[in-house]
């Protein structure tokens, strides 16, 4: 939102790519309040302007006798086409060279700017081409026949003579073709017809660029039209740049596949690039519907049973590069070699481009891990539940391709994990002792489990392959077991009311995060009969937060925090905030002999003296006289905080 003054011009630049549809409205103004605006677009595609939901013809636009929307050349007298404040609201003009849309706007109206798909093509042809070829009516029909489209879709033709080009292009004329469809008249939103037109133009773009890069289009133009196409520049529908399409000549490996383990993606994935005859990258060939691809295959291996798994093909991007992401191998091999070949889209002739081979590499044994598929569970005591784990690659955490490779068979076991403190009293049982191993999903499901006492638990799942080649262990996410009379619903929309800050990093060891959550719940929530309403979060190195119902009295919780709280050995609560109020927290510390070199202030106590005397005896026996003297000096003035 911005404050604007009437009878003024305003230029609008957006900090990121504009959306397909923009709406402008002047608030608190009537029809007499008028301004002109210009909006900058990264793309030079057509932008249609709608006033109060109805399409407004641009000042250089008109419908011909066949009802086709066309735009005229404004370059001879641009100022006469430019919208002015005196014009009626909705007057507009898109200037492709400026990449701007200009419009007049009144206070009572709203304007929608809708970006519309357009395909721009620029062909180079020899200037000696017969003059009849350059007649507009002939050009439209000739290129429509070449592309296999209705001539009515080519809405504008420009011929640029050689005198307007640089010296190196002398002897060449350029033909610009602009292809688009009619705008929707009474719908400023993105309609199904708009999307259909965009898809159709993208497919036409793909066909033309594919035919040109393989030489098919040049051959068809020579055979059918007796004309030589020497160059092609295209601007893809709704893109923000033009590409010069070159003829494909070769592919080159930028990065070899490497660091491969059986049944999972190689840690180093192959990257390739397509080049023209001048070793320049061929750009502009990307397509989401019918792409060029690079196919990988094994050409030699010490293991004849090895196969490529997960991903054997990758698509060519608009930038001319091909990036594999999941190429993997099925089995171990001491040495193997990959070959990459270029594969053309459907209905496009394969170019005469040689395959390339990468260096020989090895594939090592799989390194496996387990991944839990269950979020935090909330169950009643004695209520049956299931746990599911995936067998995954340890480093990428992606599911292995085939868990029965090399005839692997699996068995599973589960037990309650013993927390370092605040362990609930319940035991874990399976009513059926069933384990479901799914080869399709690569998962192992433990069925019909139940816990018989309230609290927050963690269970440990162990998966073992027959022959003990793999023994995999994984702690579950927390499982909240409640009384059947309780109703617990955890919501992220519930704001946290208890914030805990610890004196050590509690996020570094990711294997312990769920353990910390369970200890916090059992020690601070369940122990004080509070009802959890938001899941416990651990974040920002040393922070945790949660929410519970304030309908219960939290005074006993406050007392516990006042007395200090140890999460696990070496990690103590440093600060706490409850319901936006700071809570006094006794910071607990452990005194060891290194602390005795500093000053300790406080009042003496018999317990303190007894502990120091015991330490004195230790130091005397070990002939540590310096610390013995230091202990004597602080005997009368010391305090200890105890866990």
Residue 87 clears pLDDT 90, i.e. is over it: yes
CATH code of 327's domain: 2.60.40.3960
Q: How many residues does the chain have?
A: 643
Helix, strand or coil for residue 546? strand
**Top-confidence residue, 612 or 523:** 523
Number of structural domains in the chain: 6
Provide the token pair at 328: 């993997």
Residue 2 lies in a domain: no
Residue 429's pLDDT is 95
| Average pLDDT score over residue span 391-416 | 92
Residue 138's pLDDT is 82
The answer to whether residues 436 and 377 belong to one domain is yes
N-to-C CA span, the chain: 58
Residue 593's pLDDT is 45
Q: What are the DSSP E strand ranges found in 503-590? A: 532-539, 543-548, 566-568, 571-578, 581-583
The answer to whether residues 464 and 508 belong to one domain is no
The answer to whether residues 357 and 373 belong to one domain is no
Residue 608's pLDDT is 52
Residue where a domain terminates, one of 241, 270, 288? 241
Residue 492 lies in a domain: no
Residue 39's pLDDT is 92
Residue 301 lies in a domain: yes
Residue 631 clears pLDDT 80, i.e. is over it: no
Angle ∠(196,198,200) on CA atoms, nearest 5: 70
Q: What is the dihedral sign for C-alpha 556, 561, 563, 568?
A: positive
| Average pLDDT score over residue span 522-543 | 95
Residue 167's pLDDT is 44
Contact 376, 490 (CB under 8 A): yes
The answer to whether residues 99 and 17 belong to one domain is yes
Residue 640's pLDDT is 42
Residue 41 lies in a domain: yes
Q: What is the pLDDT of residues 103-133, one digit of tens each?
A: 999 998 999 999 999 999 999 988 766 666 6
Domain extent at residue 29: 9-116
**Top-confidence residue, 220 or 628:** 220
**Top-confidence residue, 33 or 42:** 33
DSSP state of 221: H
Contact 300, 362 (CB under 8 A): no
Residue 642 lies in a domain: no
Structure-token match 């602009």, residue found: 178
Half-sphere exposure of 270 (CA within 13 A, CB side): 31
Report CA 252 to chain centroid distance, whole Å. Answer: 28
Cβ neighbours of residue 446 under 8 Å, at least 6 residues apart? 386, 387, 388, 412, 414, 430, 434, 435, 461
Provide the token pair at 116: 């519309």
Structure-token match 């049973």, residue found: 305
Residue 282 clears pLDDT 90, i.e. is over it: yes
CA distance 73 to 236: 21
CA distance 464 to 410: 6
**Top-confidence residue, 541 or 623:** 541
Residue 636 clears pLDDT 50, i.e. is over it: no
- Nearest to residue 152, comparing CAs of 36, 60, 69? 69
CA distance 402 to 309: 10
Residue 41's pLDDT is 87
Residue 613's pLDDT is 53
CA distance 607 to 591: 14
The answer to whether residues 441 and 473 belong to one domain is yes
Report CA 318 to chain centroid distance, whole Å. Answer: 19
Residue 589 clears pLDDT 70, i.e. is over it: no
Please list the residues that pair with 581 across neighbouring strands.
578
Q: How confident is the model at residue 643 (pLDDT cuts 50, 70, 90)?
A: very low
Helix, strand or coil for residue 621? helix
Task: Please provide residue 344's backbone torsions phi and psi, each rounded to the nearest 5 degrees.
Answer: -80, 155
Provide the token pair at 253: 């490996």
When mean pLDDT is compared across 163-172, 224-233, 417-426, 440-449, the lowest value belongs to 163-172
Q: What are the DSSP E strand ranges found in 439-592? A: 443-451, 455-457, 459-465, 471-475, 479-482, 498-502, 532-539, 543-548, 566-568, 571-578, 581-583
Contact 226, 237 (CB under 8 A): no
| Average pLDDT score over residue span 365-386 | 94
Contact 144, 83 (CB under 8 A): no
CA distance 151 to 141: 6
Angle ∠(415,416,417) on CA atoms, nearest 5: 110
The answer to whether residues 230 and 186 belong to one domain is yes
Residue 211: C-alpha distances to residues 219, 231, 493 (Å): 9, 13, 54
The answer to whether residues 360 and 400 belong to one domain is no
The answer to whether residues 112 and 123 belong to one domain is no
For the beta sheet containing 242-244, the strands, ordered from the edge strand earlier in sequence to the opposite edge, are: 154-160, 172-179, 119-126, 231-235, 242-244
Residue 575 clears pLDDT 80, i.e. is over it: yes
Provide the token pair at 308: 């490529």
Contact 316, 286 (CB under 8 A): yes
Residue 135's pLDDT is 74
Whole-number mean pLDDT of the chain?
Answer: 88
Burial per residue of 334-354, b for 16 or more beta-carbon CB atoms within 10 angstroms, e otherwise: eebebebbbebbeebeebebe
Q: What is the dihedral sign for C-alpha 432, 372, 453, 643?
A: positive
The answer to whether residues 123 and 104 belong to one domain is no
Residue 368's pLDDT is 95
Q: How confident is the model at residue 91 (pLDDT cuts 50, 70, 90)?
A: very high
For the beta sheet containing 21-25, the strands, ordered from the edge strand earlier in sequence to the opposite edge, are: 21-25, 110-116, 46-51, 54-56
% of the chain surpassing 70 pLDDT: 89
Provide the token pair at 58: 């641009």
CA distance 427 to 451: 6
Residue 466: C-alpha distances to residues 263, 364, 394, 447 (Å): 18, 20, 20, 21
Torsion, Cα 396 402 407 410, to 10 degrees, reads: 70
Residue where a domain terminates, one of 364, 395, 419? 364
Angle ∠(124,128,133) on CA atoms, nearest 5: 70
Q: What is the pLDDT of residues 543-565, one digit of tens each?
A: 999 999 988 899 999 999 999 99
Structure-token match 């023209």, residue found: 276
Q: Can you give the pTM of this predicted structure? A: 0.72
% of the chain surpassing 90 pLDDT: 70
Residue 202 lies in a domain: yes
Residue 14 clears pLDDT 70, i.e. is over it: yes
Structure-token match 């009626």, residue found: 88
Provide the token pair at 580: 């936006």
For 408, other C-beta atoms within 10 Å of its C-beta total 17
The answer to whether residues 197 and 123 belong to one domain is yes
Half-sphere exposure of 444 (CA within 13 A, CB side): 27
Contact 519, 484 (CB under 8 A): no
Residue where a domain terminates, one of 185, 213, 241? 241
Residue 488 lies in a domain: no
CA distance 137 to 143: 10
| Average pLDDT score over residue span 234-256 | 91
- Nearest to residue 531, comparing CAs of 554, 501, 562, 514? 554
Residue 171 clears pLDDT 70, i.e. is over it: yes
Residue 357's pLDDT is 97
Residue 599's pLDDT is 41
Residue 207's pLDDT is 92
The answer to whether residues 517 and 553 belong to one domain is yes
Residue 3's pLDDT is 79
Residue 641 lies in a domain: no
The answer to whether residues 519 and 447 belong to one domain is no
Pairing mode, strands 242-244 and 231-235: antiparallel
């Amino acid at each position: 939102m911005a404050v604007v003054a009437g009878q003024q011009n305003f230029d609008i630049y957006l900090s990121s790519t504009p959306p397909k549809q923009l709406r402008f409205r002047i608030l608190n103004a009537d029809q007499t309040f008028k301004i002109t605006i210009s909006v900058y677009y990264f793309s030079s595609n057509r932008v249609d302007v709608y006033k109060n939901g109805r399409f407004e013809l641009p000042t250089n636009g008109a419908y011909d006798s066949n009802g086709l929307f066309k735009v005229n050349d404004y370059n001879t007298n641009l100022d006469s086409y430019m919208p002015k404040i005196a014009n009626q609201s909705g007057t507009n003009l898109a200037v492709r060279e400026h990449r701007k849309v200009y419009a007049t706007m009144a206070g009572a109206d709203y304007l929608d700017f809708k970006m519309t798909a357009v395909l721009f093509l620029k062909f180079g042809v020899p200037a000696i081409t017969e003059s009849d070829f350059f007649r507009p009516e002939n050009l439209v029909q000739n290129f429509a026949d070449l592309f296999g489209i209705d001539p009515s879709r080519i809405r504008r033709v420009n011929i640029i003579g050689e005198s307007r080009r640089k010296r190196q292009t002398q002897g060449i004329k350029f033909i610009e073709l602009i292809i688009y469809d009619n705008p929707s008249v009474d719908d400023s939103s993105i309609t199904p017809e708009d999307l259909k037109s965009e898809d159709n133009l993208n497919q036409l773009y793909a066909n033309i660029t594919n035919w040109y890069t393989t030489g098919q289009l040049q051959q068809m133009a020579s055979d059918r039209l007796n004309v030589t196409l020497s160059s092609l520049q295209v601007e893809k529908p709704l893109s923000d740049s033009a590409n010069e399409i070159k003829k494909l000549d070769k592919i080159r490996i930028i990065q070899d596949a490497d660091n491969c383990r059986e049944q999972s993606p190689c840690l180093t994935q192959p990257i390739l690039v397509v080049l023209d005859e001048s070793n320049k990258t061929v750009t502009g060939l990307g397509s989401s519907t019918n792409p060029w691809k690079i196919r990988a295959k094994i050409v030699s291996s010490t293991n004849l049973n090895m196969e490529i798994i997960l991903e054997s093909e990758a698509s060519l991007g608009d930038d001319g590069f091909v990036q594999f992401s999941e190429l993997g191998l099925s089995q171990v091999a001491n040495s193997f070699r990959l070959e990459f070949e270029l594969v053309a889209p459907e209905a496009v002739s394969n170019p005469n481009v040689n395959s390339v081979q990468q260096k020989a590499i090895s594939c090592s044994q799989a390194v496996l891990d387990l991944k839990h598929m269950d979020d935090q569970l909330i169950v009643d005591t004695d209520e049956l539940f299931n746990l599911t784990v995936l067998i995954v690659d340890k480093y990428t955490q992606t599911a292995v391709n085939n868990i029965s490779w090399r005839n692997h068979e699996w068995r599973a076991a589960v037990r309650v994990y013993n927390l370092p403190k605040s362990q609930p009293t319940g035991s874990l049982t399976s009513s059926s002792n069933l384990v479901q191993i799914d080869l399709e999903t690569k998962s192992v499901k433990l069925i019909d489990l139940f816990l018989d006492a309230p609290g927050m638990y963690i269970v440990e799942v162990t998966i073992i392959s027959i022959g003990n080649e793999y023994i995999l262990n994984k702690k579950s996410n927390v499982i909240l077991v409640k009384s059947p009379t309780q109703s617990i619903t955890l919501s992220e929309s519930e704001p946290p009311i208890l914030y805990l800050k610890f004196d050590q990093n509690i996020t570094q060891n990711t294997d312990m995060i769920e353990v910390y959550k369970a200890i916090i719940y059992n020690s601070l929530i369940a122990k004080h009969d509070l009802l959890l309403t938001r899941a416990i979060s651990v974040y920002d190195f040393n922070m945790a937060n949660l929410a519970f119902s304030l309908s219960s009295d939290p005074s006993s919780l406050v007392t516990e925090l006042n007395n200090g709280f140890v999460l696990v050995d070496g990690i103590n609560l440093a600060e706490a905030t409850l319901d936006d109020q700071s809570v006094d927290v006794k910071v607990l510390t452990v005194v060891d002999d290194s602390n005795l070199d500093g000053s300790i202030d406080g009042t003496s106590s018999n317990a303190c003296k007894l502990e120091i005397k015991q330490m004195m005896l230790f130091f005397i026996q070990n002939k540590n006289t310096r610390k013995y003297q230091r202990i004597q000096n602080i005997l009368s003035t010391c305090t200890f905080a105890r866990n």
